[in-house]
Chains A and B, each alone.
Chain A
Amino acid sequence: GAGVSQTPSNKVTEKGKYVELRCDPISGHTALYWYRQSLGQGPEFLIYFQGTGAADDSGLPNDRFFAVRPEGSVSTLKIQRTERGDSAVYLCASSLRLLAGGPSEQFFGPGTRLTVL
């Protein structure tokens, strides 16, 4: 069975450029999450989708960050005018949230390592 996949695995870009990071969740998982992880830190929440809509985007650091999930499956995290401080591993996770308010066991992808030079 396929797990969560993320592409690319590595992305090197120059300051000021635009990047897109893709996440393919586990088939049938309605919930999708993006996190960012810096070296030596735990993952930091960015945004959560339930279906096609962003249910919680409170973790997005500023308006340079945007994410979409147009058909309720694949999601793309978009970063405009990248800065060196955006360098991190971007993790995607999905879950099958059966009950509203119930816990979410999350299945993570391997991440995309973004380096902004």
Chain B
Amino acid sequence: SQKIEQNSEALNIQEGKTATLTCNYTNYSPAYLQWYRQDPGRGPVFLLLIRENEKEKRKERLKVTFDTTLKQSLFHITASQPADSATYLCALEATGFQKLVFGTGTRLLVSP
């Protein structure tokens, strides 16, 4: 069956360090992979999208990699700040299917 795995344990890091979050998937061939941020009591907010033929995408302090051979995406936040503390969700989308299939999310805690 299709499965998207994100580390269910919270990731605790020190301010200024790089946070790396992992998204692994099986039995799925996504055309696009997206990362969203979700704060408590709020809806997810889009951060980055990467296509299956792209290896890496950057936006300010954020970087996403996409390895379709390993079936894995890594999400990096450099120079992390306490304001980056939130749950980060990866979501897959297959061509023509429109809907997003989400992972369970990883909670990131950045300590001052």
Contact = CB atoms under 8 A, between A and B. Distances in A.
B107 to A, nearest CB: 10
Nearest to B51: A103
B112 interface: no
A109 B43 contact: yes
Interface stretch (B12-20, B78-86, B89-97): B89-97
B32 interface: yes
A114 interface: no
B28 interface: no
A91 B45 CA distance: 12
Given A108-B43, A110-B41, A42 B104 contact: yes
Nearest to B89: A42
A106 B102 CA distance: 12
A97 B74 CA distance: 26
A55 B44 contact: no
Nearest to A100: B96
Contacts, number: 69
Main SS class of interface, A: loop
A84 to B, nearest CB: 22
B62 interface: no
Interface string B49-66: 101000000000000000
B101 interface: yes
Contacts of B49: 103, 105
Nearest to A58: B99
Interface of B: 4, 8, 31-32, 34, 36, 41-46, 49, 51, 89, 91, 93, 95-105
3 smallest A-B Cβ distances: which pairs? Answer: A108-B43, A42-B102, A103-B32
